[in-house]
Amino acid sequence: MSLIFERVLTDGIAAISYLIGDDEEGTAAVIDPRPDVEIYLELARKNGVSITHIFETHIHADLVSGARELADRTGTAKIYASREGGAEYGFACEPVKNGDEFVFRALILTARHTPGHTPEHISYVAADDEHPDFPWGVFTGDSLFVNSAGRPDLLGRDADKLASQLYDTLWDFYGKLDDGVIIHPSHGSGSPCGADIGDRLESTMGFEKRFNPYYQRKERKDFVDYALATPPPEPTYYKRMKKLNAAGPAVLGRLPIIPALPPRKFKEMVEAKSAQLVDTRTMLAFGGGHIDGALNIAASPILSIWAGWLLDPEKPILLVLESDSDAEKVSQLFVRTGYTKFAGYLVGGMRAWQNAGYPLRELPQMTVHDLQSSRNGLQLVDVRGPAEWKNGRIPGAVHIFLPHLQKRSGELDRERPVLLYCATGYRASLAASVLEREGFSDVRNLPGSFHAWKAAKFPVEK
């Protein structure tokens, strides 16, 4: 057998998908595809295989599933989705139940019902036909991660029951696999689908049984309490993603086209306030001059998550880009969390805007040295997540998690300057743009933020 194995890591949302198959037979499967599916088609062409199967381990909450898109693009591949746990779908798919086998010549994938993260969750055990009873790997989806496990609280109900099912999944199924079996999860470090997911993209069952904190909780109650207490804040878009993926995302056929708008037309649309204005440039470029009312969601991979937290998927988006050539890349990042409606982008970017004589707003940047030498009446706000805050912070800061900033802005004094910080400055610049949009007149960003503060060896409070 000549095994085909390709791992696709999607930065930002920290999603991991897989192309696996046999190049002698020329067939392959994709497990948990993302919505911008061209990468799987390219990998299939590179390896000389046809994608015949598309496996969904569960109904995803963190990104738009690419299963329907990929099936449409291949023309022949079928979608296979779990019918365990009473799962229902609003699109055509082949039902999968516990014990079903899928053969790609010498590669055998066996479905195993592994509930806990969701009721329908399925994992796929991989073996070769010469040793079918001795698997070499398992595609764990969102049930077991490196150093973590899938959170059981995303349904909004039955979290205790799901946490108990997760206990059974980890101890009675995964825990009985040979120590040498390699786990291939569908998420890596940084995903909110689990608590403190490890940095490595794969692991072994032996390593996880010895070091994963979930396997240190041998008693069911202790395990359940831990599973319910440790997940990070749930992004607001997760429930929307669940509904979208269960119903079946629309097949786009290609990335959305973003109309190119000259400065005058762009200004008219900004003033009409019928679209959301997003500036995708870096924090320092945004600070140097931006259009009043713009949110600074810079075009790094994590844009997908912060768009999900803060934007309305039903309202068109106006974009300011670093370069006109970034339009496709930015569109790809938005699509991953379900944003497909674009009013247009500013042709020529902020240079064209300023050359047209249109107004600019600046966002002052302070250094950590400035902050250390003088607070000067500043309100210092930490917009990181709760776990980051607990692990150390700049003395004198108050904590308002970025997604809660708009609702909690009334807690801040509008007559005093506000300085925002996060880990590196990305979220702080976004937070500053949120407060500007809320009418705060003196808002500042701390580039480098907590990383720079620690690098300068300034005091840290816990």
User: pLDDT tens digit string along 80-98?
Assistant: 999 999 999 999 999 999 9
- CA 3 – CA 58 distance, rounded (Å): 25
pLDDT of residue 1: 53
Give pLDDT tens digits for 132-164. 999 999 999 999 999 999 999 999 899 999 999
Average pLDDT (341-349) is 98
In terms of phi and psi (left: phi > 0; alpha: psi -120 to 50; beta: otherwise), the region of 215 is alpha
Report the topology of domain 368-455: Oxidized Rhodanese; domain 1 (3.40.250)
Please, are residues 310 and 301 in contact by the beta-carbon 8 Å criterion?
no
Domain spanning 260-355, CATH architecture:
3-Layer(aba) Sandwich (3.40)
Please, are residues 383 and 397 in contact by the beta-carbon 8 Å criterion?
no
Single pTM value for the model: 0.94
Give pLDDT tens digits for 233-269. 999 999 999 999 999 999 999 999 999 999 999 999 9
The 3-state DSSP class for residue 344 equals strand
Confidence class of residue 376 from pLDDT cuts 50, 70 and 90? confident
Average pLDDT (371-385) is 95
Confidence class of residue 43 from pLDDT cuts 50, 70 and 90? very high
Task: Check whether 398 has a pLDDT greater than 90.
Answer: yes
Least Cα distance to 167 among 137, 203, 143 occurs for 143
Task: Check whether 116 has a pLDDT greater than 90.
Answer: yes
**Is there a common fold for 3-247 and 260-355?**
no
| Domain 3-247 in CATH 3.60.15.10 | yes
The 3-state DSSP class for residue 124 equals strand
Extents of the domains making up the chain: 3-247, 260-355, 368-455
pLDDT of residue 156: 86
- CA 431 – CA 425 distance, rounded (Å): 10
Looking at the chain, the whole-number percentage of residues with pLDDT higher than 90 is 98
The set of residues, in sequence order, having a beta carbon less than 8 Å from that of 379 and lying 6+ positions away, is 398, 412, 413, 416, 417, 418, 419
Q: How far apart are the first and last CA of the chain?
A: 55
For 235, 318, 371, the CA distances from 311, given in Å and listed in that order, are 12, 12, 31
Looking at the chain, the whole-number percentage of residues with pLDDT higher than 70 is 100
pLDDT of residue 364: 97
